[in-house]
């Protein structure tokens, strides 16, 4: 180069080449524009498969019914039928292999999600039988008296009645 | 005989000449940039969500299930889905809260007001009260995706916005760009995190964990491209609404019974 | 703990996932890029528009903008959750995002500044090389310096008048290109905020322009401050040296040169300040007048929660007071220093009120978030995004400036011009 004025351009070229070469090395092959175009679909395609392969924890009541048919048939008649088994019994994962047994949530906290009374008249919540958790046997677990699988009042455990 | 300077020069020209077309074309290939899908070759699945506000009782089973299913640390104060409570009194005042995202449901009448503490509301003064489940709207024009500088978040062909955990730089621009406050930083992976309708479940023919956990059928998922889908039927035939339409994001979570107080 | 939880206090209803995600480092980012852009624009006033009186400060501010350059990026790296992936912005740029162009704009700008400095200093570099080469017995330090300056010369040893003339023209052209690029670099920082449609306070097309104007204001103010400080040091040094060599400039001569430069520079400062304040007030009045949906919550943030920060610190101490200081006749060095420091504080508060103020309310418009700057770091997060992180960002440019001036002295050098 005769003219020294162009010399800084060499640096520029080196920088640009450097960036482009790192690009070739760093960017995964499947990075590109997919279904939603450049604006919304510019991504690494294999990431979709990574998300699809996340482990499923909740397997739904249908799977439970496969083995625990008698329990399932019993609860299906109760007003709690619409509550998924896993909401109280915990996520199934790969039960019975892993975990061997379920970790059942028998806490008050679970029941009062619906049964803490809220004075919202005319709403579904307002219509659910509710208690004031601070006044209704505050130190007792609900399951001491109530049977969650068949919670009608007359089915309360005998110990509670006596 | 080549001197040192000429050698350097030639090497650089050759290397540059080889690399630039290779790499630059990758960035600026106009064909790929314009590969925006036209209306004709749409896939046959586009996930949408339907929330029935009348049916929600604020039990928070959905939030609970979501946290477990999607491995969002249970005690972290962030969540992919949450439930808001609106209590409107007769004087027109609206009180809103969502303690811990309603992970444990709403078990008290007191309204959580952050650092101001709890607010008591006289039951007699309540004009109406309702619960509003919130989750990612999987918008048709997702602002969060538009603003991602590196292509770490994107929308799949079936309309779900995902985050590539190995590519997110954690700038938080998407968190800022979402008008619905759906995004947050994952406390473990330190990258942007959001609801994806349980992509690992819906792509296996299952329903999202929150839908399965809801005892009252307040949450439903459907495919808007299938005219026979019950959710599609409701969306097309009944009076549904969406959140914050004014942002032009075209949200795809539809609400039955959405009241004007909902933020 | 969730990112942002350590410094966010929620009030009334805020969405569960909302925190102040953009904290002190994002306040520092536009502040520092503003200083870079402003310093460069000031130096261009001399190189492009030939404002001769600014010759002294032009070279100074050019080198200072070089020292500030890496620091414009520093707050971003401290802010990123995955700083090691920052380079991905250059690898897979997603140009629909305002941030994606950062890598390219920043690199372009950096290359322009470095090239310009090279042309300005070429004569000095070559002369140093020749001088060192001529020496018979070089000590170790001198040998290292010779290698360094030879590298910097990049083999362009021609010092003929034609070659020097070419240098001069190159500087002019680069400074000319540099102005729009500097404005772009910073206006674009404003665009990053102004284009966030989800944020009611940020979203305004005026944001980039406001950012550019306040950038120039802060850059010029910083140059005045640093210039005064270095001149004071020079005065002390020259007073000490004159004991041995009475031919050197006296401190009185230095002082008169100093006050002349400062007075002229402060005129440009005021000019840009008027522009910046006009635009900011226009924005505020417009929001007030149109009063769209978001105005209720914005009003309570602007007039109640952030009143002190906006109207007292930013407008009062940062704008009105320096205005009076600079406009009262008989400007002294000390007054100019106080005025420039207040301007810097005002611009910093403006950045704060935009970045933190924009997150002071929930997107639900039904609640507020308060920012508590972490002072004492108890985790990496509060170290990076706390007082100490911010201080590191503030101190670094001065350290760099000191190092750069070891190689490329700012004063007492024959310019290529």
Interface partners of chain C (CB pairs < 8 Å, 3 or more) are A, B
Which is nearest to C347 in space by CA: C8, C17, C38, C1?
C38
Beta bridge partners of residue A94, listed in sequence order: A98
Contact check, Cβ <8 Å, B247/C197: yes
pLDDT band at B250 (very low <50, low <70, confident <90, very high): very high
Residue ranges and CATH numbers for the domains of chain B are 139-193 (3.30.70.20)
The encoded tokens of residue C46 equal 């001399």
Report the gap between the CA of B198 and the closest CA in chain A (Å).
9
**Residue A5, pLDDT above cutoff 50:** yes
Q: What is the pTM of this model?
A: 0.90
**pLDDT at site A1:** 44
**pLDDT at site B106:** 97
| Chain C residues with CB-CB distance to A19 below 8 A | 90, 107
Contact check, Cβ <8 Å, C154/A22: no
Which is nearest to C308 in space by CA: C367, C365, C375, C360?
C360
Q: How far apart are the first and last CA of chain C?
A: 57
Do A134 and A84 share a structural domain? no
Contact check, Cβ <8 Å, A8/C155: no
C-alpha–C-alpha distance, residues C413 and C408, integer Å? 9
- C244 and chain A in contact, CB less than 8 A: no
**Residue C417, domain member (yes or no):** no
In the predicted model, residues of chain C with pLDDT beneath 70 are 248-249, 412-417
Q: φ and ψ at C39, to 5 degrees?
A: -60, -40
Tell me which residues of chain A, numbers 88 to 147, contact chain B at a CB-CB cutoff of 8 Å. 91, 109, 112-114, 116, 118-126, 128, 133
- Taking residues A154-162, report their average pLDDT: 58
- Per-residue pLDDT tens digits for B97-126: 999 999 999 999 999 999 999 999 999 999
Please answer whether residues B95 and C29 qualify as being in contact, where contact means their C-beta atoms are separated by less than 8 angstroms.
Answer: no
**pLDDT at site B118:** 96
DSSP secondary structure letter of residue B96 = E
Angle between helices C207-241 and C333-355 (to 10 degrees): 150
Contact check, Cβ <8 Å, C92/A42: yes
Do A82 and A45 share a structural domain? no
Which is nearest to B20 in space by CA: A28, A17, A23, C91?
A17
- Taking residues B137-161, report their average pLDDT: 96
- C84 and chain A in contact, CB less than 8 A: no
Contact check, Cβ <8 Å, C111/A8: yes
- A56 and chain C in contact, CB less than 8 A: no
CATH code, C372: 1.20.1630.10
Contacts of C318 (CB under 8 A, 6+ apart): C342, C343, C345, C346, C347, C349, C350
Do A86 and A63 share a structural domain? yes
- C87 and chain A in contact, CB less than 8 A: yes
Q: Supply the range of the domain harboring residue C306.
A: 5-407
Positive or negative CA dihedral for B148, C384, C344, C314?
positive
Please answer whether residues B47 and B160 qualify as being in contact, where contact means their C-beta atoms are separated by less than 8 angstroms.
Answer: yes
Mutate which: B62, B134, B171, B243, vs C, most C CBs within 10 A: B171
CA separation, residue A20 to residues A7, A11, B242 (Å): 21, 14, 44
Buried b (16+ CB within 10 A) or exposed e, C83-105: eebbebbbbbbbebbbbbbbbeb
Which is nearest to C211 in space by CA: C354, C310, C344, C45?
C354
Q: Is the peptide bond prior to A96 cis by the omega test (within 30 degrees of 0)? A: yes
**pLDDT at site C246:** 72
Which is nearest to C373 in space by CA: C16, C72, C28?
C28
Please answer whether residues C51 and C45 qualify as being in contact, where contact means their C-beta atoms are separated by less than 8 angstroms.
Answer: yes
C-alpha–C-alpha distance, residues C39 and C29, integer Å? 15
Contact check, Cβ <8 Å, C99/B247: no
**Residue C61, domain member (yes or no):** yes
Do A47 and A37 share a structural domain? yes
Do A110 and A158 share a structural domain? yes
Do A119 and A67 share a structural domain? no
**pLDDT at site B39:** 44
Kindly state the helix (H) or strand (E) to which residue B52 belongs, with its residue range. strand B47-52
C-alpha–C-alpha distance, residues A105 and A108, integer Å? 9
C-alpha–C-alpha distance, residues A116 and B105, integer Å? 10
Burial of C70 (0-12, 13-18, 19+ CB in 10 A): middle
CA angle A158, A159, A160 (to 5 degrees): 90
**pLDDT at site C302:** 96
Output the average pLDDT for chain B: 90
Domain count for chain A: 3
Tell me which residues of chain B, numbers 169 to 188, contact chain C at a CB-CB cutoff of 8 Å. 169-173, 175-185, 187
- Taking residues A9-38, report their average pLDDT: 93
| C177 Cα distance to chain centroid | 18
Contact check, Cβ <8 Å, C111/A15: yes
**pLDDT at site B21:** 58
C-alpha–C-alpha distance, residues B253 and B259, integer Å? 15
**pLDDT at site B38:** 43
Contact check, Cβ <8 Å, C92/A31: yes
C-alpha–C-alpha distance, residues A27 and A37, integer Å? 19
**C13 SS3 class:** coil
Domain count for chain C: 1
C-alpha–C-alpha distance, residues C264 and B1, integer Å? 58
Contact check, Cβ <8 Å, C156/A31: no
Q: Supply the range of the domain harboring residue A91.
A: 55-105
**Residue C415, domain member (yes or no):** no
């Amino acid at each position: 180069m005769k003219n020294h004025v162009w010399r800084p351009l060499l640096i520029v070229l080196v920088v640009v080449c450097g960036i482009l070469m790192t690009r070739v090395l760093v960017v995964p092959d499947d990075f590109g524009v997919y279904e939603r175009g450049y604006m919304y679909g510019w991504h690494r395609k294999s990431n979709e498969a990574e998300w699809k392969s996340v482990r499923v924890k909740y397997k739904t009541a249908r799977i439970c019914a496969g083995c625990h048919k008698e329990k399932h048939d019993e609860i299906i008649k109760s007003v709690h039928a619409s509550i998924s088994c896993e909401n109280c019994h915990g996520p199934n994962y790969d039960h019975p292999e892993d975990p061997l047994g379920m970790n059942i949530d028998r806490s008050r906290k679970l029941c009062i999600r619906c049964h803490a009374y809220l004075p919202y008249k005319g709403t579904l919540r307002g219509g659910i039988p509710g208690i004031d958790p601070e006044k209704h046997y505050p130190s007792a677990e609900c399951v001491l008296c109530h049977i969650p699988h068949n919670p009608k009042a007359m089915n309360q455990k005998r110990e509670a009645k006596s | 005989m080549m001197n040192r300077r000429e050698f350097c020069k030639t090497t650089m020209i050759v290397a540059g000449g080889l690399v630039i077309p290779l790499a630059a074309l990758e960035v600026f290939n106009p064909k790929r940039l314009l590969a925006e899908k036209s209306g004709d070759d749409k896939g046959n699945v586009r996930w949408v969500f339907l929330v029935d506000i009348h049916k929600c009782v604020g039990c928070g089973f959905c939030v609970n299930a979501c946290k477990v299913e999607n491995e969002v640390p249970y005690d972290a104060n962030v969540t992919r889905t949450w439930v808001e409570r609106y209590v409107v009194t007769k004087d027109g005042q609206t009180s809103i809260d969502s303690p811990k995202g309603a992970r444990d449901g709403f078990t008290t009448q007191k309204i959580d007001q952050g650092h101001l503490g709890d607010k008591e509301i006289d039951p007699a003064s309540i004009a109406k009260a309702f619960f509003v489940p919130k989750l990612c709207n999987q918008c048709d024009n997702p602002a969060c995706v538009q603003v991602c500088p590196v292509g770490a978040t994107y929308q799949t062909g079936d309309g779900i916005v995902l985050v590539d955990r190995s590519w997110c730089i954690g700038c938080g621009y998407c968190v800022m760009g979402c008008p619905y406050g759906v995004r947050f930083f994952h406390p473990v992976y330190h990258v942007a995190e959001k609801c994806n309708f349980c992509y690992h479940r819906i792509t296996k023919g299952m329903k999202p964990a929150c839908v399965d956990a809801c005892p009252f059928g307040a949450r439903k998922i459907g495919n808007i491209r299938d005219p026979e889908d019950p959710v599609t039927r409701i969306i097309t035939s009944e009076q549904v609404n969406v959140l914050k339409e004014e942002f032009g994001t075209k949200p795809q979570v539809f609400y039955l019974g959405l009241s004007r107080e909902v933020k | 703990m969730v990112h942002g939880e350590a410094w966010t206090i929620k009030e009334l209803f805020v969405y569960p996932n909302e925190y102040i995600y953009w904290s002190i480092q994002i306040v520092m980012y536009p502040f520092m890029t503003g200083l870079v852009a402003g310093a460069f624009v000031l130096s261009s006033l001399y190189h492009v528009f030939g404002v001769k009186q600014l010759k002294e400060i032009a070279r100074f501010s050019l080198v200072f903008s070089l020292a500030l350059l890496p620091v414009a990026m520093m707050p971003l790296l401290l802010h990123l959750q995955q700083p090691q992936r920052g380079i991905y912005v250059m690898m897979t740029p997603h140009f629909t995002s305002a941030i994606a162009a950062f890598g390219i704009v920043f690199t372009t700008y950096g290359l322009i500044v470095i090239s310009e400095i090279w042309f300005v200093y070429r004569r000095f570099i070559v002369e140093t090389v020749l001088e060192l080469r001529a020496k018979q017995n070089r000590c170790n330090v001198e040998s290292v310096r010779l290698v360094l300056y030879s590298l910097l010369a990049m083999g362009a040893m021609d010092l003929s008048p034609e070659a020097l003339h070419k240098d001069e023209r190159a500087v002019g052209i680069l400074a000319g290109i540099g102005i729009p690029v500097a404005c772009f670099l910073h206006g674009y920082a404003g665009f990053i905020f102004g284009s966030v449609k989800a944020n009611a306070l940020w979203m305004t097309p005026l944001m980039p322009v406001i950012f550019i104007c306040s950038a120039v204001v802060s850059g010029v103010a910083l140059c005045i401050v640093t210039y005064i400080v270095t001149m004071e040091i020079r005065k002390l040094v020259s007073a000490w040296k004159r004991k041995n060599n009475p031919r050197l400039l006296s401190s009185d001569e230095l002082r008169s040169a100093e006050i002349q430069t400062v007075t002229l520079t402060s005129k440009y400062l005021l000019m840009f300040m008027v522009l910046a304040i006009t635009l900011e007030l226009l924005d505020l009045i417009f929001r007030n007048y149109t009063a769209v949906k978001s105005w209720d919550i914005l009003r309570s943030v602007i007039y109640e929660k952030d009143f002190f920060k906006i109207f007292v610190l930013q407008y009062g101490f940062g704008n009105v007071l320096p205005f009076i200081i600079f406009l009262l006749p008989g400007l002294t060095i000390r007054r100019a220093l106080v005025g420039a420091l207040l301007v810097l504080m005002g611009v910093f508060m403006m950045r704060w009120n935009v970045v933190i103020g924009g997150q002071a309310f929930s997107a639900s418009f039904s609640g507020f978030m308060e920012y508590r700057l972490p002072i004492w770091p108890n985790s990496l997060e509060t170290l990076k995004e706390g007082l100490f992180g911010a201080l590191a960002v503030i101190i670094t440019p001065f350290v760099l400036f000191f190092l750069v001036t070891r190689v490329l002295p700012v004063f007492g050098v024959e310019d290529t011009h």
